[in-house]
Amino acid sequence: MALVFVPESVMKAPNALYAQSGGPTAVINATAAGVIQAARAARGRIGKVYAGRNGIIGVLAEELIDTSREPASAIARLREAPGAAFGSCRYKLKKPEQDRTQYERLIEVLRAHDVRYFFYNGGNDSMDTAYKVSAIGASMGYEIGCIGIPKTIDNDLPLTDVCPGFGSVAKYVATSIREASLDVASMHTTSTQVFVLEVMGRHAGWITAACGLAAERSDDGPQILLFPEVPFDEARFLERVKATVARVGWCSIAVSEGLRRADGKFLAETGFQDAFGHKQLGGVARLVADLITDRLGFKHHAAVADYLQRAARHIASRTDVEQAYRLGAAAVKLALAGRNAVMPTIVRVADRPYRWKVGVAELKDVANVERTMPREFIDADGFHITPACRRYLCPLVRGEDYPAFRDGLPDYVRLRNAPVAKRLPGFKP
């Protein structure tokens, strides 16, 4: 009987590629751990797991990281590390009908490294990219399973009850404004009477709403929330601040960076745009605080949570960590089941006790769709959250998942991020 030669490439299991996109969260690396550990457990079905260095830019430049060079202990510790362990980026690919070059390059890189599973961890624009890569792969005759994995502190992706990353930022801002409110309450007779905290949220006020969790009783801070979904009415706002200070002696306010006037213009538009074409915002807390002092004479302090809110792994929500990890593992399961152009989701089963399960959505129904706060989550006067919103939010911030500490500070893992040898000519993204 003649021997049949089977090429080594045929015998090997295909590889997978994971990339992180957009702003990091406190739990994005928990998702990475879920992907890598699930892929390692699928021996014989998935070979190596590569990661794009600095997100999709690294994939285009063929700058890949070999995660198989990391020990199991390091991958396990990813679950409690903030930032983006493999690097991230804000980079929007052009539409395929305008320029297919970048998409074709992506497929070339995937083909060169025998990658048959692509996991893209990000928000709205990232889900759109994953969807388009799946379509280009099919048109080029290259079979590739593209799975989008949700990640955004803004909580604005549709078809999932919550986005991994949101629960932890919600816990951080609610904790921060509760503590700051107690500080102001203790000093208002001789010092600051108004405190304003600016949180992220361009079009969706979910993070602002989370600040409202800190106010469990009447007159607790924050007494006022300013949502991007509610047009800013200067006169009504100032009257509410004046009445609150008259009644309580002080006032604590949370405001979304995306607060808009009735004409739709942002209060704090800088005139610049980010890489995705979004108008850059900043400084709305200062604008609101100065307005209060100018018109009402109250002494104020203003703060911007900025990167602190999304990087605060030390006070992450245990619910959020668990959901982020499980969606990473679920993405691998979907890929191995032959699914393509889909995203694992969180499906709420019950509020009390809180129960949830993993669902699945088509990327075409998620890409570039933004979910804002429903009106029934904002009270009638537009300045606070409703009981329905509180029921939705409360389970998402529950539980603690502290990282390891060393010498009094969090001890976060640092990966080797060993590079994969390039096989293609250079390419400038």
Contacts with 119 (C-beta within 8 Å, 6 or more apart), sequence order: 16, 17, 18, 19, 35, 147, 149, 328, 331, 332, 335
Which DSSP string do the residues of 161-174 spell out, in sequence order?
SS-TTHHHHHHHHH
pLDDT in tens, 271-327: 444 444 555 466 999 999 999 999 999 999 999 999 999 999 999 999 999 999 999
Do 39 and 46 form a contact (C-beta atoms < 8 A)?
yes
CA–CA separation, 298 vs 184, rounded Å? 13
The number of angstroms, rounded, from the C-alpha of 391 to the middle of its chain's C-alpha atoms is: 21
Residues designated as active site: 154
CA–CA separation, 300 vs 85, rounded Å? 38
Do 273 and 280 form a contact (C-beta atoms < 8 A)?
yes
Do 397 and 170 form a contact (C-beta atoms < 8 A)?
yes
pLDDT in tens, 14-52: 999 999 999 999 999 999 999 999 999 999 999 999 999
pTM for this model (two decimals):
0.93
The residues spanned by each domain of the chain are 12-152+315-364+400-410, 166-313
CA distances from 351 to 24, 42, 164, 370, 391 (A): 28, 34, 18, 24, 7
Topology given in CATH for the domain delimited by 166-313: Rossmann fold (3.40.50)
- Which residue in 283, 78, 311 sits closest to 172, CA to CA? 311
CA–CA separation, 335 vs 117, rounded Å? 7
- Cα-flanking dihedrals φ and ψ of residue 313, to 5°? -70, -25
What is the pLDDT, as a whole number, of residue 274?
45
CATH number for the domain formed by residue range(s) 12-152+315-364+400-410: 3.40.50.450
Range in 4-13, 243-252, 359-368 the model is least confident about: 4-13
Dihedral, CA of residue 128, residue 134, residue 135 and residue 137, to nearest 10: 140
Query: Residue 358: beta bridge partners?
Result: 346
CA–CA separation, 204 vs 197, rounded Å? 16
pLDDT in tens, 196-242: 999 999 999 999 999 999 999 989 999 999 999 999 999 999 999 99
CB atoms near residue 8 (< 10 Å): 7
Does 12-152+315-364+400-410 match 166-313 in CATH topology? yes
- Which residue in 387, 360, 374 sits closest to 155, CA to CA? 374
The number of angstroms, rounded, from the C-alpha of 48 to the middle of its chain's C-alpha atoms is: 26
